Chains A and B, each alone.
Chain A
Amino acid sequence: MSFDEIYNIALMQGFAGLSLFSVLLLMGLGLAIIFGQMGVINMAHGEFMTIGAYTIFMFSSLTETYAPGLVQAYFPIAIVAAFFIAFAFGWLTEWALIRHLYKRPLDTLLATWGLSLGMQQVFRSTFGPKEVSPTLPEWLMGSWAPSEGLDIPINGLFVLGLTAVVTGGVLLALYKSRWGLRVRATVANRAMANATGINTKRTDRLTFAIGCGIAGVAGAAFTTIGSTGPTSGSLYIVDAFLVVTFGGAASLLGTVASAFGIAQTQSIAEFFLTGSMAKVLTLLLIVTILMIRPQGLFASKIRR
Chain B
Amino acid sequence: MDAFKNWVARTGMGSVLVLALVIMVVFPLTMDIFRLNLVGKYLTYAFVAVGLVMLWGYGGILSLGQGCFFGLGGYMMAMFLKLEASDPESTKIQSTPGIPDFMDWNQITELPFWWEPFNHLPLALIAVVLVPMVLAFIISFAMFKRRVGGVYFAIITQAVALILTVLIIGQQGYTGGVNGITDLKTLLGWDIRDDSSKYVLYFVNAALLIGVILLCRWIQMSKLGTLLLAMRDKEDRVRFSGYDVAMFKVFVFVLAAGISAIGGAMFTLQVGFMSPSFVGIVPSIEMVIFAAVGGRMSLVGAVYGALLVNAGKTYFSESAPDLWLFLMAALFIGVVLAFPNGLAGLYESHVKPWFSRRKSVAKPAASAGEPPAPPSAPTHKSAPPAALPGGVQGQSA
Interface residues of chain A, those whose CB is within 8 Å of chain B, are 39, 41, 97, 100-101, 103-111, 113-115, 117-118, 120-121, 124-125, 234, 238, 241-242, 245, 274, 276-277, 279-280, 283-284, 286-287, 290-292, 294
Contact = CB atoms under 8 A, between A and B. Distances in A.
A113 B170 contact: no
Nearest to A106: B62
Contact of B397 (A106, A110, A241, A245): A106
11 contacts: A41-B155, A101-B336, A106-B154, A110-B292, A113-B332, A118-B329, A238-B158, A283-B166, A287-B160, A294-B147, A294-B148
Interface string B299-337: 000000000000000000000001001101111110111
B392 A104 contact: yes
Contact of B162 (A115, A125, A238): A238
B346 to A, nearest CB: 17
Contacts of A284: 163
Interface SS, B side:
helix
A117 B332 contact: yes
The residue in B139, B289, B329 that gathers the most chain A C-beta atoms within 10 A of its C-beta is B329
Nearest to A40: B151
B146 interface: yes
B170 A280 contact: yes
Contacts of A117: 325, 328-329, 332
B332 A111 contact: yes
A277 B170 contact: yes
B326 A118 contact: yes
Contacts of B292: 110
**A-B interface, 9 closest residue pairs, ranked by CB to CB distance from nearest:** A114-B332, A276-B170, A118-B329, A121-B325, A291-B142, A294-B148, A111-B336, A114-B329, A117-B329
A104 B395 CA distance: 8
Contacts of A294: 143, 146-148, 152
A111 B333 CA distance: 4
Interface string B386-397: 000000110101
B231 interface: no
A110 B155 CA distance: 13
A234 B284 CA distance: 14
Contacts of A245: 152, 155
Given A110-B336, A242-B155, 20 more contacts: A103-B393, A104-B392, A105-B397, A108-B336, A110-B285, A110-B292, A115-B332, A117-B325, A117-B332, A118-B329, A120-B325, A121-B322, A124-B322, A238-B155, A276-B166, A276-B170, A280-B167, A286-B159, A290-B156, A291-B156
A196 B154 CA distance: 35
A103 B332 CA distance: 17
B322 A125 contact: yes
Interface of B: 56, 62, 64, 139, 142-143, 146-148, 150-152, 154-156, 158-160, 162-163, 166-167, 169-170, 281-282, 285, 288-289, 292, 322, 325-326, 328-333, 335-337, 340, 392-393, 395, 397
A105 B329 CA distance: 18
Contacts of B329: 114-115, 117-118, 121
A287 B337 contact: no
A125 B282 CA distance: 21
A104 B170 contact: no
A115 B337 contact: no
B194 to A, nearest CB: 38
Nearest to A277: B170
Contacts of A39: 151
A262 to B, nearest CB: 12
A11 B337 CA distance: 52
Contacts of A283: 159, 162-163, 166
Contacts of A107: 336, 340, 392
A280 B166 contact: yes
A105 B151 contact: yes
Given A41-B151, A106-B151, A114-B330, A291 B143 contact: yes
A284 B163 CA distance: 7
A294 B148 CA distance: 7
A114 B139 CA distance: 27
Given A110-B292, A294-B148, A118 B325 contact: yes
B151 A115 contact: no
B166 A279 contact: yes
B281 A238 contact: yes
A106 B328 CA distance: 18
A107 B393 CA distance: 10
